[in-house]
Amino acid sequence: MRQTVALIATGYLVDLVHGAASQAYTWKNVVTGGGGGFTPGIVFNPSAQGVAYARTDIGGAYRLNSDDTWTPLMDWANNSNWHDWGIDAIATDPIDTDRVYVAVGMYTNDWDPNDGSILRSTDQGDTWAETKLPFKVGGNMPGRGVGERLAVDPNDNSILYFGARSGHGLWKSTDYGETWSNVTAFTWTGTYIQDASSTYTSDPVGIAWVTFDSTSGSSGSATPRIFVGVVDTGESVFVSEDAGETWAWVSGEPMYGFLPHKGILSPSEHTLYISYANGAGPYDGTNGTVHKYNITSGVWTDISPTSLADTYYGYGGLAVDLQVPGTIMVAALNCWWPDELIFRSLDSGATWSPIWAWNGYPSIDYYYTYDISNAPWLQDDTSTDQFPVRVGWMVEALAIDPFDSNHWLYGTGETIYGSHDLLKWDTSHNVTVQSLAVGIEEMAVLGLITPPGGPALLSAVGDDCGFYHTSLTTAPSQYFHTPTYSSTNGIDYAGNKPANIVRSGSSDTDPTLALSSNFGSTWYADYAATSSTPTGQVAYSADADTILLSTSSGVLRSQNSATLATVASLPASAIIASDKANNTFFYAASGATFYLSTDTAATFTATTTLGASTTVNALRAHPSAAGDIWASTDTGLFHSTDSGNSFTQIGSGCTEGWSFGFGKPASDDAYPVLFGFFTIDGVTGLYKTEDEGVNWQMISDSSYGFGAASANIVNGDLATYGRVFVGTNGRGIFYGDASGTVPSATATATATAAASSTVKVGSSSSTASSSSTVGSSTSTAGVTTSKSTTLSTTTKGTSSSATTSTTTGSTATGTSTAYGQCGGSGYTGPTACPSGYTCTYENAFYSQCEYAT
């Protein structure tokens, strides 16, 4: 039988010659077990035991399971709704405890073109309905750890409030989040901006939190008393006594110019606890207080664990034990040195005990037992740090289980910690700090390779260096080290000697290139680079003698570990690749121009342009055939079998492509399987082709969308047929395995034949293997405003400038102070140190001026 039929109305065609081509894909995370990114919020439902959620800034929301693991709730996000992975607030309904709400959107500046949304779920996040807001929401903006700025009325759960950013004020819903209107009586929109120097930091953080006084009302009626905290250096805590009709400043609020990060009610004490910091976070803040407000008496009391004169941190995470009135905890937002501080009080803040304390410098009493068995890589086992950072940093999320005084969780810039023995803090003063982020995979992935004969996978990762994955199902014991990089920006292997690996990453102290000759198991610094050599994509020659490094300040080359030298014939930031079989061939592209080197990257010559393309997005060489090179561009996919002297465009239906890679074919003599993100017949997703682009199958689906196509890293597995790796920007690494009949290899294996055939697309939706039914509805519920209410449906991916959650570099001039901060992701202050002091790297977020002995 040989015929072509239209399968569904939307123009998908399945060629029945290859009718068995649709294989079912099963998707799982490559396990790192430790999160790997910032968790700005954790909320427990106060009425249903065990119901809790965590929100991330770039990787969606998660639900807690009874075995301490987490279930991701937003893996459906795809190229058209990638920004739904930015969660600026989350609210769990105290009455109908299956209801949960999130405010989503990634950036309020132009990195994200879309307005934000409120997503609502009635099944604890398994499925969601959406209402588009008439303004942006910034899940990955400054101040993303304040909150929660979304809240459900505990006496009438049809009522919700949402505090917006960017001057858009307070919003209210009276129909379970379906429609929203502006609370015009609330006129304080929050004027604080973090830093006027960039669009990213100069947008007002807006409203910080909404806290209902549940005790002021009765079940079934709107709660009369509502507190709202606003990110403002002036008056910043406001109250309504009439269910939101009128509002006033809470008089007596301390006026230090600090920003209220959290406002947590202790109902039985009739007290509101507030943490203040002089920065919006999550990186900044050097001063602050903790205050409580007695709602009955109207009296404010400073209960700060550290006196104003002595503090060098602001306060973030704040928790009350609902079972034990007067038991409260607070975290320094960032105590960068020597380690984060968390405090606990059993007497409503009159006295505090810390999680560690100096016992005569440099001796420290550690009042905790550290347990990272779930993610051993969280500490570098070769570290010689005098003061290892274990408690964390960026602690905005801190919560005590309302049903279990022993159970606490807190979020850091890197993982979630907590334990089930919190009461030991009060008895033996030795609580467990245990990594409890299993199931949360939040990394922003920058490179993935599977060198033949090597481990299951090697990953290059933003903020967490990268990993040698001996197994896809167990957490790595270490990140790459010696040298350790905060982010590894590029990784490649030598095609003929695949145990030889090169990586490029950022470091304040070590050369930014590292080499391995045992598949990345151990490494040594390549002194071809210094610590100030810029980092970027790398390409390793097939015989492992030459490294090509593409950076925004030029393309650099080193042969036999000689000092890097600029390759004058290539523009900065060129896309690069090495031939995997012929040591002399390197490839590059910039704009629409393709370049070839036949002298081991010493010189490049422009050979051709790629059709009507204006941008080449990725180059990949065939894993074993010399001169066989592919390019994805803004107009499609191109293939050359003559080292890039000429290219043929693949199929007319493929109109754009991003990251792609090759995997093991079904039979050894077949062409490798090509996997990648493409737009084919107008549909952007993850595709595979087993016949060089004649037939395609979309293998992303309605349950697994992988977020922004342009931000992802794709590679096939050269060891396992059908397996593909997808590195996301905030949801870690996925691997997909195929089941079902192997497509028959009837395509003519030449690019010319491929190019002349019509692209045929098999939709995988009918064969998706997932058992989950997650997916957002496309409800167009109205917003009661004259502004746009339409659902945005056609967005392209993120730009690379928005890649990770922590990419801002300091542009400040001037000199920091002795032992002051001088660097770190997100830091915007001076980077020079006073005479006699050296700026010393402590971690990805903090470098300090230390005395040079």
Ligand X SMILES: *[C@@H]1O[C@H](CO)[C@@H](O)[C@H](O)[C@H]1NC(C)=O
Residues at the contact surface with ligand X, assessed by CB under 6 A: 76, 78, 80-81, 134-135, 167-169, 182, 184, 187, 189, 256, 269, 271, 287, 294, 296-297, 308-309, 311-312, 365-367, 369, 430, 582, 584, 598, 626, 683-685, 702, 705, 775-776, 778
Mapping DSSP to helix (H, G, I), strand (E, B) and coil, where does residue 292 land? strand
Nearer to ligand X, 395 or 698 (CB): 698
- Residue 385, C-beta contacts closer than 8 angstroms, at least 6 positions apart: none
Q: How far apart are CA 3 and CA 45, in angstroms?
A: 56
* CB 628, min distance to ligand X, A: 13
* CB 252, min distance to ligand X, A: 13
Q: How many CB atoms lie within 10 A of CB 153?
A: 26
DSSP bridge partners of 418: 409, 434
List 68, 156, 401, 463, catalytic entry = 463
CA 564 vs CA 73, 495, 552, 570, 793: distances in Å? 45, 21, 15, 14, 46
57 given a catalytic annotation:
yes
Pair of tokens at residue 9: 């109305």
Nearer to ligand X, 180 or 467 (CB): 180
| Residue among 686, 729, 715, 662 at smallest CA distance from 446 | 729
669 given a catalytic annotation:
no
* CB 790, min distance to ligand X, A: 15
Q: How far apart are CA 659 and CA 673, in angstroms?
A: 14
Q: Report whether 723 contacts 663 (CB < 8 A).
A: yes
Nearer to ligand X, 424 or 481 (CB): 424
Q: Which residue's Cβ has the minimum distance to ligand X?
A: 169
Nearer to ligand X, 252 or 809 (CB): 252
> What are the φ and ψ backbone dihedral angles of 228, each rounded to 5 degrees?
-130, 130
Q: Report whether 58 contacts 444 (CB < 8 A).
A: yes
Q: How far apart are CA 241 and CA 224, in angstroms?
A: 5
SS (H, E, C) 493-552: ECCCCCCCEEEEECCCCCCCEEEECCCCCCCEECCCCCCCCCCCEEEECCCCCEEEEEEC
Nearer to ligand X, 41 or 685 (CB): 685
Report which DSSP code applies to 109: S
* CB 184, min distance to ligand X, A: 5
Q: Report whether 306 contacts 351 (CB < 8 A).
A: no
DSSP bridge partners of 565: 557
List 15, 57, 84, 203, catalytic entry = 57
Nearer to ligand X, 467 or 595 (CB): 595
Q: Report whether 92 contacts 402 (CB < 8 A).
A: no
Q: How far apart are CA 338 and CA 144, in angstroms?
A: 24
Nearer to ligand X, 83 or 168 (CB): 168
Q: Report whether 60 contacts 119 (CB < 8 A).
A: no
* CB 678, min distance to ligand X, A: 11
* CB 335, min distance to ligand X, A: 13
Dihedral angle over CA of 606, 608, 613, 614, nearest 10? 20
Q: Say which amino acid occupies 331.
A: A
Nearer to ligand X, 374 or 700 (CB): 700
Q: Report whether 127 contacts 66 (CB < 8 A).
A: no
Pair of tokens at residue 65: 């399971």
Nearer to ligand X, 47 or 603 (CB): 603
CA 599 vs CA 579, 608, 642: distances in Å? 12, 18, 16
Nearer to ligand X, 30 or 207 (CB): 207
* CB 156, min distance to ligand X, A: 22
Q: Is the peptide bond before 850 cis (omega within 30 degrees of 0)?
A: no
* CB 780, min distance to ligand X, A: 13
* CB 168, min distance to ligand X, A: 4
Q: Which residue has the tokens 């007497």?
A: 347
> What are the φ and ψ backbone dihedral angles of 366, each rounded to 5 degrees?
-95, 115
- Residue 771, C-beta contacts closer than 8 angstroms, at least 6 positions apart: none
Nearer to ligand X, 423 or 683 (CB): 683
| Residue among 450, 568, 428, 569 at smallest CA distance from 498 | 450
CA 576 vs CA 341, 382, 579, 602, 631: distances in Å? 45, 33, 10, 13, 10
Nearer to ligand X, 69 or 323 (CB): 323
With b meaning 16 or more CB within 10 Å and e meaning fewer, what string describes 57-91? Answer: bbbbbbbbeeebbbbbbbbbbbbbbbbbbbbbbbb
* CB 501, min distance to ligand X, A: 21
> What are the φ and ψ backbone dihedral angles of 401, each rounded to 5 degrees?
-55, 120
* CB 791, min distance to ligand X, A: 10
Q: Report whether 277 contacts 239 (CB < 8 A).
A: no
* CB 807, min distance to ligand X, A: 26
Nearer to ligand X, 484 or 821 (CB): 821
* CB 685, min distance to ligand X, A: 5
Active-site residue list: 57, 463
